[in-house]
Amino acid sequence: MRYCLFIGTLVAGLSGSIAFGQASPSALGSVRLTHAVIADGKPLATGLYQIRLNDDEPKPAVGKSPNAQRWIEFVRGGRVVAREVATVVSAKGIDTITTRPPLLANESRLDVLKDGNYVRISINWKGTNYIINMPAAATQPLPPRPPTGLSIR
């Protein structure tokens, strides 16, 4: 009887550790969107969102590295309300993406681009840069704004 109890406890313990060992999205910080945008084809309203890095990777384009893009989730009220593809850029390659000064580790920035038609969220998390470009949801171009609205936890 003790032997069966031991085996049952061992199996339950192993199955529990497998469930807890599965990867979950990593929180990159939070963002206060000051402009409505389109994320993954759906409107995303202004407001405060938690940004999470999902383990899913989009299918790479021909000739691109399989690790060049990652899905980013926008979370509000504990649930994912939108997601968007982020370009993953090394610290050495960030100069090819932007003329702005590179971000420091765990720093972030929100920029309005292309005459107010796009919003870019740039996040440097643990030395890796995640660039999220989204079109503005407004029918009129957005006014340029100083970089603001982001915080990293």
Distance from C-alpha of 79 to C-alpha of 115, rounded to nearest angstrom: 32
Q: What is the pLDDT of residue 143?
A: 58
Dist. CA 54–CA 27, nearest whole Å: 9
Tens-place pLDDT, residues 132-143: 999 998 765 555
Query: 28-87: per-residue pLDDT in tens?
Result: 888 889 889 999 899 999 999 999 998 877 877 777 777 889 999 999 999 999 999 999
pLDDT at 113: 87
Phi, psi torsion values for 9, nearest 5 degrees: -65, -40
With a cut of 70, say whether residue 9 has pLDDT above it: no
Query: In angstroms, rounded to a whole number, what is the distance separating the alpha carbons of residues 46 and 146?
Result: 16
Give residue-wise pLDDT tens across range 74-132.
999 999 999 999 999 888 888 787 778 888 888 888 888 878 889 999 999 888 999 99
What pLDDT was estimated at residue 119? 92
**3-state DSSP assignment of residue 2:** helix
Residue 11: per-residue pLDDT: 37
pLDDT at 78: 93
Q: What does the pLDDT read at residue 116?
A: 82
CA dihedral 78, 84, 87, 90 (to 10 degrees): 0
